[in-house]
Structure 1
């Protein structure tokens, strides 16, 4: 067991295999709304009274650099709400939902979407996918006494961010993903490594952890380029890597990674000569399919989350028949279920009351795996421990999952990664 010390707590990572770790526009929704009245501010967040109808808002990418993550995230929320409402809803009423677009950091779409959701009296907002986008709106959401719950934020900043006790996430901090990826790179025999990382809180934070892990594991990061993701051309950045000729190349970014990949090939650094590694922000089944076959053969990528069961995938495709990528669908599904269960446990749909019960419903009680199973136990007076599709989600005091899993995926000749990971590695986050 290796212990890493992030701010305020330690991270213990245990390999799931014998390889030891040494080192992850506003669409329409239901149209029901609720009336919410603000009371005097509480010590941590504004106090509010709900009207008995739980209203969820989604702030997920329909446009922008993470748009490929939108469909599975929306599908995860929609599937959860379908099952919740089929089981009788929350507090005896159907859950209402409004969908909006988070866009990305090049636009003001997220802020406008949050304004819309707050006007629609959302009790909890699920999103954004991008850590930087969430960081830009967290004050507006939590300042209104609304739960801010992301299924995909991985930036380490959120562990200590001022959130009035209202921010939660089902994806793990990047210290875990970075440690798993760095360990993988060393285990694959890469003693020299080049890193290209987008310059924002997500990219630089994850690159820092990968670099530390590679160095601690005996490797050398011979070149690191933190680039502007909005740049029109990456030839100079790739040239810096080429000059150092690293065995392994780590690509940390979003959709602009497709341009980086094309430049790597152009400058004679293809994946069959250097080992490429990607992360959750760019491990996609849509971004590279138009490239020549074999461009990404053998490339590995890490994505937080346990294996999505085949039955769960079938349910998701019933909700969205065009779904090709399942990234963060389990985390989105679990986010909606946990919010609903916390509202039931609190006997209130107010954001502050929901937040106060999220830790309680995620650990320490009788284990249950579906909303119906869990809510029946709650109604019988039983303390519950919801274990989700994304894994056992046990929140710590920071709103981070105390237990998380990182999957390691590999691309085939069709420039798509196999839906089944090569392996999964699980980490425990101790307070």
Structure 2
């Protein structure tokens, strides 16, 4: 049950030494270019995205790979937005079109070929990827083709730095890990944790988020008992678990992905499981670990464990609309962000009177701020048709895109696990970056 919603203004400073590439609720291997330039191997030449009168969305979201649990709600968000846009008359007099693609993960390396297919299908806007690491392998490929890349889940700080700090064709509806790191540190402090042990994947996602949390904890006068990293493809976690158990922390922050289900039993054996050491997750591993979804964890082992997931409250009527699209949904993570990426793109196309990617990009920021408030596609489209400047506030929150294409205001949900190892939201923290 949601208890309340809290708002604060975040005044965070990223230290000069911070590793700037992280990943949404599941990142992948870092592309080694410093400063965010030349994100990946983009030797594949794709057809240029040009307006043809039909706004086409390509989705590059995880059907397979380590983030596949995020795929269903993200696809549902896209499908719901496309349905509602077309029910309201479409864009530029035509129904919008959705073409699905699988982002996989960095290990599978399928994203560049999937992007080629999406661009060949005349995609003007590609919604994805979920993982910042995967996005970095295709960002230049997509932008060089003149299409908009619009992620519902990238949290890397790198997209606002280096070459990508300038306005371009990249946008996202998820806030950077600057906000999630601050919210997690604040949650730990509010819960009375003053000496936190951190166990994290040794990749861009884990290192960046661990550093953000540690910086915020130490700035508030708390300490970090130990920061222990494990290899992203590790098969054993024995030494890391032993180090955490011996660290003497009063809480554990575990920053991981699907390997969490393997690590938790080892922590329990070492006397550092969630019932011995209060445990906290992040968006990459705040998943459903109930017997129906993950029988590897006995019921009750996660009772009281908390986690953070970027995103606003999607309960109630919006959830019902999503379930009408996909009745099998058990998670709604990043569904609202996916929905809003499609809605704002469609509104930008109307404002620009063009479905071309570059025209949409030029209008995207403006439809999210400093205009007449509106909250549905139909309402906003009607205002645009009457010549109004609009400020769309969506299912994921106020959005308020900045010049770099990232939200300057967003929400982080705080979730807690019950005796069946299922999580539910207990709070939402709204912050400005």
Q: Shorter-chain-normalised TM-score: which range?
A: 0.7 to 0.9
Following superposition, the deviation at residue 6 of structure 1 comes to 4.1
Check whether the contact 1:63–1:104 (CA below 8 A) recurs between aligned residues. Answer: yes
User: Structure 2 CA distance, aligned partners of 1:328 and 1:204?
Assistant: 22
Query: Counterparts of 2:210 and 2:247 in 1: how far apart (Å)?
Result: 18
For 1:52-94, what per-residue CA distance to the aligned partner results, in whole angstroms no more than 9, with x for missing partners?
A: 1111100000011111000000000000000001111111101
Matched, 1:310 2:316: yes
1:319-350 deviations in whole A, cap 9, x for unaligned?
Answer: 00100000000000000001111011101111
Give the alignment of 1:310-329 within 5 angstroms: 310-329=316-335
Task: Give, in angstroms, the shift of residue 118 of structure 1.
Answer: 1.4
Conservation of the 8 A alpha-carbon contact between 1:289 and 1:414? no
Q: Which moved more, 1:260-269 or 1:404-413?
A: 260-269
Matched, 1:195 2:198: yes
Distance in 2 between residues matched to 1:294 and 1:179, nearest whole Å: 28
Q: Post-superposition shift, 1:229?
A: 2.1
Tell me if 1:356 matches 2:359: no
Cα RMSD after superposing both structures: 1.8
Partner of 1:186: 189
Q: What SS does structure 1 have at the residue aligned with 2:273?
A: coil
Note the C-alpha offset of 1:152: 0.4
Contact 2:375–2:394 at 8 Å: present in 1 too? yes
Equivalent in the alignment of 1:61: 62
| DSSP 3-state at the match of 1:56 | strand
Q: For structure 2, which runs of at least 5 residues remain unmatched after alignment?
A: 1-8, 17-24, 26-46
TM-score of the superposed pair, with normalisation by structure 2 = 0.87
Query: TM-score, normalised on structure 1?
Result: 0.88
Gaps of 5+ in 1: 9-23, 25-45
Q: Who is 1:258 aligned against?
A: 261
Correspondence for 1:204: 207
Deviation at 1:365, TM superposition (A): 0.8
* 1:391-430 correspondence to structure 2 within 5 Å: 391-418=397-424, 421-429=425-433
Is 1:270 the equivalent of 2:278? Answer: no
Q: 1:241 to 1:127 in 2, by over 3 A?
A: same
Partners in 2 of 1:354 and 1:262 — Cα distance?
48
**2:310, 2:413 within 8 Å by CA — same for their partners in 1?**
yes
1:298 and 2:301 correspond? no
Do the aligned partners of residues 286 and 58 (structure 1) sit closer, same or farther apart at CA in structure 2, a change above 3 Å counting? Answer: farther
**Aligned-partner Cα distance in 2 for 1:172–1:302:** 13
C-alpha deviation, 1:2, in angstroms:
5.4
Relative to structure 1, the CA distance from residue 105 to residue 270 in structure 2 (aligned partners, 3 Å threshold; closer, same or farther) is same
Matching residue of 2:169 = 166
Identify which of 8, 11, 23 aligns with 1:3. 11
Q: What residue in structure 2 maps to residue 96 of structure 1?
A: 97
User: Separation in 1 of the partners of 2:74 and 2:163?
Assistant: 25
CA distance in 2, matches of 1:276, 1:217: 20
TM-superposed deviation, 1:182:
0.8
- Hey, what does 1:220 align to over in structure 2? 223
Q: Deviations over 1:389-423 (max 9, x none)?
A: 110011101111011111111000000102xx222
Q: Could you say which residue in structure 2 is the equivalent of 1:83?
A: 84
Q: Which residue of 1 aligns with 2:41?
A: none
Q: Report the CA distance between 1:200 and its aligned residue.
A: 2.2
Tell me the CA shift for residue 7 of structure 1.
8.5
